[in-house]
Amino acid sequence: MYIESPRYTERFGSVRMNYVQMVVALDSGTKSELPPHGAMGVMKIDEETIKHFEDKMAIVIPIKDEKLKLFEGVISGIPHDCLVITVSNSQIEKIDRFRMEGDALNQICRFTSREALIVHQKDPAIAESLAEAGYNDLLGEDGLVRDGKCAAMVIGLLMAKAAGKEYVGFVDADNYFPGAILEYVRNYAAGFSMAKSDYSMVRILWHYKPKLSAGLYFKKWGRVSEITNKYLNDLISSKIGFETEVVKTGNAGEHAISMKLAEILPYAAGYAVEPQELVSIFENFGGILPTRERKVMEQGVDIFQIETRNPHLHEEKGDEHLKDMILSALSTIYHSPLCDKELKQAVLSELVRQSIIKEGEEPLPLHITAAPKKMDTKKFVAAIQEDFDKYRALQ
Ligand code: GDP
Ligand code: CO
């Protein structure tokens, strides 16, 4: 593919956050000449490089009661060499949707001889292995894994680790365009190929997000993203003393992380998970607060933001959760030790302006799951590996 070269990088301690890079063309052929490096501000990432990273990557699909046709489409878009890991919280009683998902996955894997794993979030065996490894943050009062996409992501990334993968990417199950999924994963691979550090992250910015109102309208920015990005940028600006607009992917659900970085990040519940990753990276490696991760400070953390060619179209589940999204994102900033008094006040005013909290109220602290590395991952991985066959889509 052809992609804009990283033109400008914001440095924040040992974090290197790159400005958005646009995909120029989805394919770069095998014959075409490589432009003189950087001459046109465009880089060629050849197919071999993309395949090299896809082979080391697991793609985690969190799913909860989505239309089966959408799920099938999503799987069909994931490059063949990636290991597919489906973490489902779909209903089992009455209609066993989890079983239907397993059957659909099994069929595709048979037709295409590919590998995939599928696990139910509420599988007691998973909860047991987590408890044994001391990872109680993920467990609810009933002793099973909590609800929510965040818990699914963490289980998925631990399974990716158990399968020996070096990168883990996430894609939602409710996407209408298999071609967009294919592009997201190729963009993940392209991003990782540009990283200098073993600790890297690739976040997707959708070119357009069409809305079905009167006709199809290709909307460039979501309102929620705009607010999230503004305050994430303000958080950086307040620390480096220069205004920046580098963050454009605060809410990016579609993102991928190198396993080494994924293991040392905490994960917040609900809609806070994606912005919290950035806040935690700034906190841990931004050079302002003390860190225990000396190796990371030496290598640095590379963050890439890649703008897709495909538009993003997913199931619309109504507007009620927009306020919840803003509250979650801004809570991550409000409760960060990096957030100074002035920014806290600005966050409160924004939340009052959006009628999300009342004057005098504060956002509640979020439930945050500790970084996987803080628990005995080896124990969990060993327990999962023992049961691996049970989770294979192809039995
Ligand atoms: P939005 O796209 O941000 O509005 O959020 P969605 O409701 O589409 O959720 C994103 C993805 O996470 C979808 O694939 C959902 O099916 C999935 N999801 C949502 N909640 C859960 C959950 O509790 N567990 C799992 N495993 N997946 C979930
Ligand atoms: Co969605």
Measured CA distances, 47 to 52, 74, 80 (Å): 8, 21, 13
Residue having the nearest C-alpha atom to atom 10 of ligand 1:
172
Answer yes or no: is the C-beta of 314 below 6 A from any ligand 1 atom.
yes
What is the atom index within ligand 1 of the atom nearest the CA of 152? Answer: 26
R_g (Cα) of the chain, nearest Å: 20
Answer yes or no: is the C-beta of 64 below 6 A from any ligand 1 atom.
yes
Give the domain ranges of the chain. Answer: 2-391
Q: Which of 215, 247, 257 is nearest to 329 (CA)?
A: 247
Instruction: Ligand 1 pocket test: pick from 59, 60, 63 the residue with the most ligand atoms within 8 Å of its Cβ.
Output: 63
pLDDT for 292: 78
Of the ligands numbered here, which is closest to the C-alpha atom of 271? 1
pLDDT for 241: 85
What is the atom index within ligand 1 of the atom nearest the CA of 251? Answer: 3
- The number of beta carbons lying within 10 Å of the beta carbon of residue 68 is 15
Answer yes or no: is the C-beta of 174 below 6 A from any ligand 1 atom.
yes
Fold of the domain built from segment(s) 2-391: Spore Coat Polysaccharide Biosynthesis Protein SpsA; Chain A (3.90.550)
Answer yes or no: is the C-beta of 313 below 6 A from any ligand 1 atom.
no
pTM comes to: 0.95
pLDDT for 211: 64
Residue having the nearest C-alpha atom to atom 8 of ligand 1:
174
Residue 148 β-bridge partners: none
CA of 332 to the centre of ligand 2 (A): 21
Beta carbons of 73 and 178 less than 8 angstroms apart: yes
pLDDT for 223: 78
Query: Which residues have C-beta within 8 Å of that of residue 84, sequence separation ≥ 6?
Result: 58, 59, 61, 75, 78, 105, 114, 115, 116, 117, 393
CA of 89 to the centre of ligand 1 (A): 9
Residue having the nearest C-alpha atom to atom 17 of ligand 1:
63
Spell out which residues have Cβ within 5 A of ligand 2, the ion: 172, 174, 314
pLDDT along the chain (395 residues), means of 10: 92 95 92 63 93 98 97 98 98 94 96 95 94 91 95 95 96 96 98 98 84 55 84 94 92 95 95 95 92 89 96 77 90 97 97 92 93 89 85 86
pLDDT for 217: 55
CA of 313 to the centre of ligand 1 (A): 14
DSSP state of 354: T
Only one residue has tokens 């890439």, namely 304
Q: Helix, strand or coil for residue 273?
A: helix
Q: Helix, strand or coil for residue 112?
A: helix
Determine the Cα–Cα distance for residues 66 and 45; give it in Å rounded to an integer.
34
pLDDT for 250: 93
pLDDT for 84: 98
Structure tokens at 247: 């963050």
Beta carbons of 363 and 334 less than 8 angstroms apart: yes
Answer yes or no: is the C-beta of 172 below 6 A from any ligand 1 atom.
yes
Q: Which of 193, 217, 204 is nearest to 310 (CA)?
A: 204
pLDDT for 204: 96
Determine the Cα–Cα distance for residues 298 and 255; give it in Å rounded to an integer.
24
